[in-house]
Structure 1
């Protein structure tokens, strides 16, 4: 009889003990970390799939465009005296070894006007932003200076001078390229370049009247090219001026140089931007002898952004999943403790799984609509489900309304934090402080000593 009383009292203690309830809730929260981690992996998997599809679209349409040039390429001779000992004559014989190297001269002025017509291409549920850029390139070359390298005029091979342009995207070029130098026009042809980030386009040998031997000579080039995501230029001119107009309303200006803020305009119909870069602003010279350097790090331009990234926002939302589950469990725990209503661990588990389902709804719906719509649909669905379930557990419309109000406030708070960038930490800290203060005020009514 006493054993039965002891068993009954022990079972009653397990059922009513606040400490046991707290341990049980803590263990359930740890268990629910497992489905949340799977949801995070699902978001990352879908994001990787999106990146793969976008890359495939971009490769077929045309990858990002980086333009480097035009550059004047002038070959010259280097003389090396080679002495050889002759045993028969008992003297040295001398031989002049001639090697050909190249000098590269950047233009004195470089003006680029670019009109970017953008659009989105989709495959399945994914889309990428692509564009067609219509560019007018003008400028001038001044007389090259070989005196700094002590190169004699007779060693300069003017008759083998060419002009080159480097680009990362030859596939996207949609017009026949003819570079006009003075009164002459020269078609550009691709040339194989090993181990280079850019591909080279080069003219045939320039005619005498196209060479800037004595006077500066003007050049012009019209280029229509398909690209995706980015359009960038390297400021090779002694003075480089670039102007861009586009119908894309979400540009991100990047690189070493930003556009003039007085001329930059961004609206719902597109953007306008202008750059001016002088030689003194750069980290490289106007001429190079031997090899053309890799100066891609000096590029500047624009990146066309898709305004919202649903997967990034969904991933940010899942980071607060632990907070949502913990605070919801805490609300049920406080109600249970204050009202002396028994809630079974299985019921806590069902509530936790319902909260986890919000994130799968968010991901799946946002792939077919906006993040706001997906968040609203997922949030309303979960709040209604848990509220109705709490009515069956707690047997009270008052507690059901309190649960619904708490969840609405919590999901609204999380949504506001996700939308904010600069003030996310500030708003989050204030919100958590208020939540903690509310919990402390409510928990004063609990008799912690009667356990």
Structure 2
């Protein structure tokens, strides 16, 4: 390796860029482990009940119309009791008559007027291998009424509502999530809930004549994982959610009007008017279209919260791999400045070993974090890497006391990196500031450096033998002294 500081700096810079290869490989390992972790969460969550979205209830009122039809029938001879036939053709004699037939029309679909829902969840941790999966048990209590007076306004001609065939329908994400109580009450009347019979998940119940009831109360107990949502089906919708999960991520079509989050859980409230969602309060449509409306409400207008796990160690390990180049570059710069006084420059292989140790640090941190948590894993991995590189500086790089400078820099670097990984919002600010300060410190430390080498010319690119100075001219012969 050439003695020129400029050449050595360029070589170190190229080696730093080459360290992107192991850092990218480490990043792939982190992503693979994170994907595996996500798959375990999804698998256990689906076995427990999965994501839950509640849409409904909805009241479906059958509509019929009496239609007079013209029909024909064979004429019976009253004397013989036989069908009369034409003498010429032998065909039966027929007569016309009228019959009134009750024909089914598109039903009336009503959504609730005042809709109030209270949802509360209790979190449990399920274990699968080395992973903990948060799941919940939820209690859903809904109170609602229906604007029955709107039904008559949608009728046309001689149509009439078949009140006895009224059916209440609600949609769930999955029926297998239902546990414990599931009841529908109107005053002192209990209705028996049944699964829907139209290949859609959810519940249905025959209400007979709903005109005898003013308000309904529906209660469901269900299991779930990852998220809980509900659709605002009422003309006026008021929803309250309570949970013991301290890190909710409110999502969906609407954010809560108010919320209170503590270390022991949260309470959130929504108040949504009918103008805020594109659902008709009263409409006429086929039963299949009514199911489509509930499905659309589930996907387009539902809201709630997800069980967010803030800044988990997979996110931190992935971000550490992204900051890995900065960590390697700062370490290389420190070693470069420390070893500048050595008679023999360090070999590129020694720089590569330093970079590989810092790449393996990320794998160590992730592997131990899966077993003992992020904080202890980070302290153990950072301490081991700092001791290793400091010992390498003493015995491998022959830095002597200057290896203490390397150890101190690594301690500060890993402490700053820990703060960066802990703060998602300020990570970019901290990382950019650290890079700027490191560059400024390098500029200051190398302000007197002779980048072209001791010769001070472009000849630093080639090793040329020094040109010997010219020999002095031979002294002129002296004449012998006079006698």
TM-score by length of 1: 0.86
How big is the shift at 1:341?
4.2
Could you say which residue in structure 1 is the equivalent of 2:86?
none
How big is the shift at 1:147?
5.2
Question: Residues 126-171 of structure 1: CA distance to partner in whole angstroms, max 9, x if unpaired?
Answer: 1211111122221222214245544356432222110001010211
Mapped contact 1:36–1:321 kept (Cα < 8 A): yes
Question: Residue 365 of structure 2: which of 340, 358, 362 is its match?
Answer: 362
Q: Within 2, Cα distance between the matches of 1:312 and 1:432?
A: 21
How big is the shift at 1:313?
1.0
**Matched position secondary structure for 1:392:** helix
User: Rg larger in 1 or in 2?
Assistant: 2
Could you say which residue in structure 2 is the equivalent of 1:268?
263
Q: Within 1, Cα distance between the matches of 2:135 and 2:301?
A: 24
Question: Residue 199 of structure 1: which of 197, 201, 205 is its match?
Answer: 201
**Matched position secondary structure for 2:361:** helix
Question: Residue 40 of structure 2: which of 50, 53, 76 is its match?
Answer: 53
Could you say which residue in structure 1 is the equivalent of 2:386?
383
Could you say which residue in structure 1 is the equivalent of 2:278?
283
Question: Residues 71-128 of structure 1: CA distance to partner in whole angstroms, max 9, x if unpaired?
Answer: 1111224799999xxxxxxxxx999994532221111112222221111111111121
Alignment of 1:432-451 (within 5 A): 432-450=435-453, 451=460
Question: Residue 11 of structure 2: which of 17, 20, 24 is its match?
Answer: 24
Q: Within 1, Cα distance between the matches of 2:388 and 2:332?
A: 15
Could you say which residue in structure 2 is the equivalent of 1:129?
134
Question: Residues 263-319 of structure 1: CA distance to partner in whole angstroms, max 9, x if unpaired?
Answer: x22222222222222223323221232122112211111212234421111000100
Does residue 232 of structure 1 match 2:229? yes
Q: Within 2, Cα distance between the matches of 1:81 and 1:371?
A: 78
Does residue 413 of structure 1 match 2:408? no
Does residue 104 of structure 1 match 2:99? no
User: Structure 1 residues 192, 374: closer, same or farther in 2, change over 3 A?
Assistant: farther
User: Structure 1 residues 407, 46: closer, same or farther in 2, change over 3 A?
Assistant: same
User: Structure 1 residues 78, 63: closer, same or farther in 2, change over 3 A?
Assistant: farther
How big is the shift at 1:207?
2.3
**Matched position secondary structure for 1:429:** helix
**Matched position secondary structure for 1:283:** coil
TM-score by length of 2: 0.80
**Matched position secondary structure for 1:16:** coil
Q: Within 2, Cα distance between the matches of 1:396 and 1:23?
A: 21
Could you say which residue in structure 2 is the equivalent of 1:87?
none
Mapped contact 1:311–1:363 kept (Cα < 8 A): yes
What are the ranges of 5 or more consecutive residues in structure 1 without an aligned counterpart? Answer: 1-13, 84-92
**Matched position secondary structure for 1:177:** strand
Mapped contact 1:169–1:227 kept (Cα < 8 A): no
**Matched position secondary structure for 1:74:** strand
Could you say which residue in structure 2 is the equivalent of 1:74?
61
What are the ranges of 5 or more consecutive residues in structure 2 without an aligned counterpart? Answer: 71-97, 454-459, 461-483
Could you say which residue in structure 1 is the equivalent of 2:74?
none
Could you say which residue in structure 1 is the equivalent of 2:189?
184
Could you say which residue in structure 1 is the equivalent of 2:480?
none
User: Structure 1 residues 448, 217: closer, same or farther in 2, change over 3 A?
Assistant: same
How big is the shift at 1:67?
0.8
Q: Within 2, Cα distance between the matches of 1:113 and 1:185?
A: 20
User: Structure 1 residues 78, 404: closer, same or farther in 2, change over 3 A?
Assistant: farther
Question: Residue 218 of structure 2: which of 218, 221, 230 is its match?
Answer: 221
Mapped contact 2:118–2:241 kept (Cα < 8 A): yes
Mapped contact 1:143–1:216 kept (Cα < 8 A): no
Could you say which residue in structure 2 is the equivalent of 1:317?
320
Could you say which residue in structure 2 is the equivalent of 1:424?
427
How big is the shift at 1:431?
2.1
CA root-mean-square deviation: 2.7
Q: Within 1, Cα distance between the matches of 2:348 and 2:197?
A: 69
User: Structure 1 residues 387, 81: closer, same or farther in 2, change over 3 A?
Assistant: farther
Q: Within 2, Cα distance between the matches of 1:33 and 1:127?
A: 33
Q: Within 2, Cα distance between the matches of 1:33 and 1:398?
A: 30
Q: Within 1, Cα distance between the matches of 2:147 and 2:197?
A: 28
User: Structure 1 residues 352, 79: closer, same or farther in 2, change over 3 A?
Assistant: farther
User: Structure 1 residues 359, 193: closer, same or farther in 2, change over 3 A?
Assistant: farther
**Matched position secondary structure for 1:343:** coil
Q: Within 2, Cα distance between the matches of 1:392 and 1:207?
A: 89
When the two structures are aligned, how many residues end up with a matched partner?
420
How big is the shift at 1:363?
0.9
**Matched position secondary structure for 1:54:** helix
Alignment of 1:269-348 (within 5 A): 269-290=264-285, 291-292=289-290, 293=293, 294-296=296-298, 297-348=300-351
Mapped contact 1:129–1:305 kept (Cα < 8 A): no
Mapped contact 1:71–1:164 kept (Cα < 8 A): yes
How big is the shift at 1:393?
3.9
Could you say which residue in structure 1 is the equivalent of 2:169?
164
